[in-house]
Structure 1
Amino acid sequence: MPGPVQMPPETAHTLLQGDRLSRDFTAVGVEDTAAQAMEKLRAHPGTGEIFYCYACDPAGRLVGVVPIRKLIRAAPDERIASLMFTRVVKLPVDASDALVEDFFVTYRFLAFPVVDAEGRIVGVVEMNQFVDAFSDTLFDEVEGRVRDEVYRFVGLPKGEARETRPGRMALKRFPWLLVNIAGGFLAATTTRLFERTVAELVVVSAFIPMVLVLSESLGVQTTAVAASMVTHGEVDRKVVAREVLAASLAGLMAAAVVALLGRVYSPGFGFPLALFVAVTVSATLASCLGGVLPFLFKRLKVDPHLASAPLVLAVSDNVTLLAYFGLVTRLLL
């Protein structure tokens, strides 16, 4: 069969910028046996690690790949055609650095064959070459994406880290602070409606932070999962439903613990029961909101990270307080 195709000298420097293309590979024929392929490997051991053996048809076109481990374990008379994987992930000879980077990140292979316009293998790009060439760039890009996603989730617009004008930074942040202010004002109004309950039962005030933080935590957790799915376009309703159910069950367990703690501070079962029901209801609602709102805001063309978390917190806080105060008032007064 024809050997590896040699590229003309005048084009070699354009091939993936030359320095990242290795000619250190072994090509075998599809009709070769495993023993014949091993002989070719021994005849051309190369200077680096060999991960794959590349199968070519009589015209020299790449048609399959055989991992070296699979070749070693095969029977000596077994044909390459029966050992090779025919779905070959390969790079074109004029691949850009960005495409090479995407291939390694997406497919996670140790090396990729590079083919010319006729499909003939001309070289390989190996993982160690990729890491040396792209590690700094890749790290910066991943770090930037993670930083932007974290910033957006806590209410900071994308690109906030690069903003240098304090005035513009404040204007971008202020709208989402208004959501928190509105939620806090409604919570204060709700508390005002139950002044008598708070005045007569001091222990009710002591458990307000605990009751609120549980629903907020569970709501933010499900919001984070759903918003991440929306951002990356990987929407899976079963995953969202499982996340909501898990958060609700966690809220139920937390409600039982809070109820036991309430029993320490209040005789009888009225106050512990109020705690249990309030935490259970608020945690379930917050989990549901966290799983649904990111998708709703995406449909409304609003950034799900920026809008979902503040609204989930505001709604869950007020529902929690209404359930908590209402149940305590009904059961104890």
Structure 2
Amino acid sequence: MDAPGEAHFLLQGDRLSRDFVSVGVEDTVAQALEKMRAAPGSNEIFYCYACDPQGRLVGVVPIRKLIRAAPDEHIASLMFTRVVKLPVDAPDSLVEDFFVTYRFLAFPVVDAEGRIVGVVEVGNFVDAFSDTLFDEVEGRVRDEVFRFVGLPENEMKQTRPVRMALRRFPWLLVNIGGGFLAATVTRLFEQTVERLVVVAAFIPMVLVLSESLGVQTTAVSAAMIANQKVDAHQVRREVLGTSLAGMMAAGVVALLGSIYSPHLAFPFVLFIAITLSTSLAAGLGALLPFAFQRFRVDPHLASAPLVLAISDNITLLTYFTLVTRLLG
């Protein structure tokens, strides 16, 4: 949180540059370039801003695109209408987020009526925040990495190995239990594996696909919880996209399976098993973090082990059942 009197330092101080070029939407490229040449500080202008007759900012044209266009072409046909802009009363934290998120060289600053009043350039931004920005970004990245692998954010600060071990051990038991159950499922289909050696050869490939896609959706849902920005539409889209990716991977594995097995049914088994298991893993990965949050269990610690354990066993059960029924 910005301290009183400091929240608008970047925009209200001398770091808000007035060296920018604004042109009319009906201006030609030749007219726009002429305005650029006449503008003060033209050597440091990154974008050309287009305004309507009322002076409101309605578009932006990168300088490179402007130079390459025909002289008689109008700005309206070149400009991008989705302009990322800052309000004149934007706090420093918002300015930081804009530069980190969008990676533009400059942002226009507009007043309440949408008229451009200045620009914030990347050079001024780095000067203002070079010390605090990198510490903050480094902290965000570190915390995200720790959360993704199932560790608490303050793990590096804990010096007692016993406490760290006790915190991690329960979820290792989940992995052990899932692995033992998977071994039991495999043992139940021992005769199938012995009769069809190629079935065993594809087990690692079948498992790794469901595990990989399940962890990906888990990471997306866990990030939403961490950022407190839950979007149900994005969750559904993530599950659908991940499931389609699993189906495409299933097709590739099925083609590989046809090389090693004379049975036409075996590639079909691979395709169905991988498609079902990856879709299930995607759904579990997306929903389990929210379920754990509801029951006040840390979703970052609990979700990944359970997603892996459940998806592995469902994958093996589906795979072996289909192989036994169709090839047995």
Normalised-by-shorter TM-score class = 0.5 to 0.7
Query: Does the CA contact (< 8 Å) of 1:215 and 1:316 recur in 2?
Result: no
> For residue 266 of structure 1, what is the aligned residue in structure 2?
none
In 2 relative to 1, CA 211–310 (structure 1 residues): closer, same or farther, beyond 3 Å?
A: farther
1:124 is paired with a residue whose SS is strand
Aligned partner of 2:3 in structure 1 is none
Matched residue, 1:312: 307
Partners of 1:228 and 1:155 in 2: how far apart?
10
Q: Which residue of the partner structure matches residue 5 of structure 1? A: none
Alpha-carbon distance in structure 1 between the residues aligned to 2:285 and 2:107: 38
Question: Given residue 247 of structure 1, which amino acid in structure 2 is its aligned partner?
Answer: G
Alignment of 1:205-220 (within 5 A): 208=200, 210-220=201-211
Q: Does 1:291 align with 2:290?
A: no
Report the secondary structure of 2:15's partner residue.
Answer: coil
Deviation at 1:160, TM superposition (A): 3.3
- Say whether the 8 Å CA contact 1:293–1:304 is kept in structure 2: no
Q: Aligned equivalents of 2:327 and 2:51: distance in 1? A: 82
> What is the one-letter code of the residue matched to 2:240?
A
Q: Provide, for residues 46-70 of structure 1, a one-character-per-residue CA deviation record: whole Å limited to 9, x for no partner.
A: 16421334567899x6544553567
Choose 1 or 2 for highest CA Rg. Answer: 1
Q: Deviations over 1:88-146 (max 9, x none)?
A: 54334443332112223444443223346776654321134335555675555455444
Residues 147, 96 of structure 1: alpha-carbon distance in 2 compared, 3 angstrom cutoff: same
Contact 2:292–2:303 under 8 Å retained in 1: no
After superposition, where does 1:75-154 map in structure 2 within 5 Å?
89-115=84-110, 121-131=116-126, 133-134=128-129, 138-154=133-149
- The answer on whether the counterparts of 1:215 and 1:317 sit within 8 Å (CA) in structure 2 is no
Cα separation, 1, equivalents of 2:239 and 2:137: 25
Q: What are the residue-to-residue correspondences of 1:60-71 with 2, within 5 Å?
A: 62-67=56-61, 68=63
Match of 2:184 in 1: 189
The percent identity for this pair of structures is 60
Give the whole-Å Cα distance in 1 for the aligned partners of 2:27 and 2:14.
31
Question: How far off is 1:164 after superposition?
Answer: 3.5
1-side partners of 2:58 and 2:321: how far apart?
Answer: 70
Cα distance in structure 2, aligned partners of 1:31 and 1:277: 60
Task: Judge conservation of contact 1:89–1:112 (CA < 8 Å) in 2.
Answer: yes
Aligned residues: CA RMSD: 4.7
Query: Are the equivalent residues in 2 in contact too, given 1:214–1:283 (CA < 8 A)?
Result: no
CA drift of 1:84 comes to 7.1
Number of aligned residue pairs? 308
Matched residue type, 1:244: S
User: Any residues of structure 2 matched to 1:1-333 within 5 Å, and which?
Assistant: 14-16=9-11, 18=13, 20-26=15-21, 38-46=33-41, 48-54=43-49, 62-67=56-61, 68=63, 73=69, 89-115=84-110, 121-131=116-126, 133-134=128-129, 138-191=133-186, 193=188, 197=191, 201=194, 208=200, 210-230=201-221, 231-232=223-224, 233=230, 235=234, 237-255=236-254, 257=256, 260-261=259-260, 279-280=270-271, 282-302=273-293, 305-322=300-317
| Deviates further, 311-320 or 216-225 | 311-320
| 1:251–1:280 CA contact under 8 A, matched in 2 | yes
